[in-house]
Amino acid sequence: MMLASAVRNLSRRSFSTSKAVSAQQLTVRDALNAALDEEMERDEKVFLLGEEVAQYDGAYKVSRGLWKKYGDKRVIDTPITEMGFAGIAVGAAMAGLRPVCEFMTFNFSMQAIDQVINSAAKTFYMSAGTVNVPIVFRGPNGAAAGVAAQHSQCFGAWYSHCPGLKVVSPYDSEDAKGLLKAAIRDPDPVVVLENEMLYGVGYPVSDQVLDKNFVLPIGKAKIMRPGKHITLVAHSKSVETALQAANELAGKGIEAEVINLRSLRPLDSETIFKSVQKTHHLVTVEQGWPQSGIGSEICARIMEHETFFHLDAPIWRVTGVDVPMPYAKTLEAAALPQVPDVVTAVNKVLGVK
């Protein structure tokens, strides 16, 4: 009897339809690949260009299989000249196509920043709204591992500073697919700041995310974890750091609300305001440098809004250290925000010893 009962219980468990069990794992790399594939299939005006995106399947295999499926005219290998192929992409967008311009790393986008800012971002305004530039600039942004100062910079603050651009910074697979699809469909230039360290990470996704019609709105943040004592705001890989810190803090009875910004421009101030009005405390987390960073902008917006009067303590920023990224592994770790840094900041803001 006991054996039969155990078998029945096991059978019931194996047919569970809860989200936790039924959710499928999808890597960020495959989410981006699916977004590109679905949008290229949906709209023949969409094409991809960049270094090694075609025959090599992409430096990070994000464009795997697309060249074989869509051919030379829609998946284009370029020379190593960011200024050149970014200019070609902007011109194609002005002529009515929808290019996706991949930078092997956003550090190299500095070679093309005149095209990104002066040609792509400003044209709609300078043409009095007569010329749209529906282009996506995408690739890995921020710190990787062991690639030193010239390959480890975060450009979130740089590009979100510029009117005429939209800037998104996805964290998980849901973000990556939904935001890239939204960027490709957008009538204006969108910068998609991915993270190399997250490409191979798998995250659970629902059937809705896997649907070809799944698109996320640009400019809307997501509350990853509700809380009542303090708000943690982050983007890209720093969301992971904030979530890990929140788990550690929960063990001490501190419930942190974690906000994944998703979009840096436009910035979802309203979600931040509502959270801070509830928790009365705020810590921002980012891998970029402190001066004029995303955290600085959030601080300014709080100061200039009625939400300032809801604060019970000063806002605290947890950022990358104000130095070029070191090459040594130990120094690299010291230059980036770690979970203990966030926990320490929360303790200071809350007055916990």
Instruction: Give the per-residue pLDDT at 72.
Output: 95
- pLDDT single digits (tens) 259-269: 999 999 999 99
pTM above 0.95, yes or no: no
Residues in Cβ contact with 156 at an 8 Å cutoff, skipping those fewer than 6 apart:
141, 142, 167, 169, 193, 235, 236, 264, 286, 288, 293, 294
- Selected catalytic residue, list 151, 280, 305, 310: 151
Tell me 132's DSSP state. -
Tell me whether residue 102 is one of the annotated catalytic residues: no
Cβ neighbours for 96, distance < 8 A, ≥ 6 positions apart: 45
Domains of the chain are 26-210 (3.40.50.970), 222-350 (3.40.50.920)
**What tokens were used for 90?**
């902007």
Catalytic residue among 39, 51, 82, 102: 82
Q: N- to C-terminal Cα distance for the chain?
A: 56
**Rounded CA gap, 103 and 116, in Å?**
12
Mark the ranges of the chain whose per-residue pLDDT is less than 50.
1-21
82 is catalytic: yes
Which residues are bridge partners to 292 per DSSP?
none
CA angle at 308 for the pair 303 and 314, rounded to the nearest 5°: 85
Per-residue pLDDT tens digits for 18-64: 344 457 999 999 999 999 999 999 999 999 999 999 999 999 999 99
What's the confidence (pLDDT) of residue 22?
A: 58
CA dihedral 323, 294, 245, 224 (to 10 degrees): -150
